[in-house]
Amino acid sequence: MNPAAPPAPLRAPLEIEFDYTRSLGPVLTQFMTALAGRRILGARGADGRVHAPPFEYDPVSAEPPADLVEVGPEGTVVSWSWMPEPLAGQPLAEPFAWALIRLDGADTAMLHAVDAGSAAAMRTGLRVRPRWAPTRTGSIRDIACFEPCDGLAGTAPRAAEPAPEVAAGMTITPVRLHYMHTASPGESSYLRGLAAHRLLGQRCGVCGQVYVPPRGTCPADGVPTHEVVELPESGIVTTFCVVNVGYPGQRVTPPYVAAAVLLDGADIAFQHLVLGCDPGEVRMGMRVRAMWGESGTISHFAPTGEPDAGYESYARHL
């Protein structure tokens, strides 16, 4: 490694996940409930065309569907794309095809997975049928996937069975993002400083403003910032809010204060927690100090007890 070269930027995997819960509405509730009973419903539009899955509002008349009709369960592949390396959470763990499938009796196609075994076995015009999940809950996943009809025994549609009791009406869609984040050189310098309990910002060579965490450039002048500035652990609260609303995974019990903290000598504030006093005592201009947590992170800021800063001293940083 070239000793003159700056250290490589830091990289780390980031994972964001949450459950998105929403109401299905009257039409999709019927669609999902029918899936639990191994039936697939479509909606007949004002122009006579049958849409499957059913529309919630007719694309021609904008009216809700008057009646839902059963379609399929077999259908024809009208377009497809091979998924050679399935991702976690997708319908199948082995390579499969995403396909648009026009179910018998429908005029539109629905998207689902086809377990064809290989890309060579996939083709437009392939006849497929649903492979039902062993346990059905009133979800699109009640269809585990579609599979080719050819060569399979018992291709005749199964008689519909009574729908089990399902809690249709609401659906939970898990959202997961997994990606590798690469910090900028300025961020990397800041993070390495934190590990050593040092707060490192950068000063713009044109306007002299000090940014912490450093952005790598000055947003006012558009020039790179190279001069590293070490800042003290102390600063003031410029603005704040009292968080009273709880949410899953919350690490601090409400009520607590999230504040914009302006370190002494910095020109921009950053967001952090202010703990160590009653939320009702936090105020603009309050003097605070960083409290270090584990693994070189600032756990929160706590009041120092010093006299408040005058409004004029931070008015231009709001």
- Residues at the contact surface with Zn ion, assessed by CB under 5 A: 204, 206-207, 218, 220-221
Work out how close the CB of 201 gets to Zn ion at its nearest, in angstroms, rounded to a whole number: 13
Closer to Zn ion by CB, 226 or 283: give it. Answer: 226
Least distance from Zn ion to the Cβ atom of residue 226, Å:
12
CB nearer Zn ion, residue 205 or residue 255: 205
* Residue among 228 and 284 whose Cβ is closer to Zn ion: 228
Of 221 and 308, the one with the shorter C-beta distance to Zn ion is 221
Structure tokens at 184: 């900028």
SS3 per-residue string spanning the chain: CCCCCCCCCCEEEEEEEEEEEEECHHHHHHHHHHHHCCCEEEEECCCCCEECCCCCCCCCCCCCCCCEEEECCCEEEEEEEEECCCCCCCCCCCCEEEEEEEECCCCCCEEEEECCCCHHHCCCCCEEEEEECCCCCCCHHHEEEEEECCCCCCCCCCCCCCCCCCCCCEEEEEEEEEEEEECCHHHHHHHHHHHCCCEEEEECCCCCCEECCCCCECCCCCCECCEEEEECCEEEEEEEEEECCCCCCCCCCCCEEEEEEEECCCCCCEEEEECCCCHHHCCCCCEEEEEECHHHCEEEEEECCCCCCCHHHHHHHC
Cβ 207 to Zn ion shortest distance, Å: 3
Q: What is the nearest approach in angstroms of Zn ion to the Cβ of residue 262?
A: 17
Least distance from Zn ion to the Cβ atom of residue 214, Å = 12
From the CB of 311, what's the least distance to Zn ion, in Å? 25
Our CB check for Zn ion shows the closer of 111 and 206 to be: 206
Q: CB of 28: closest distance to Zn ion in angstroms?
A: 53
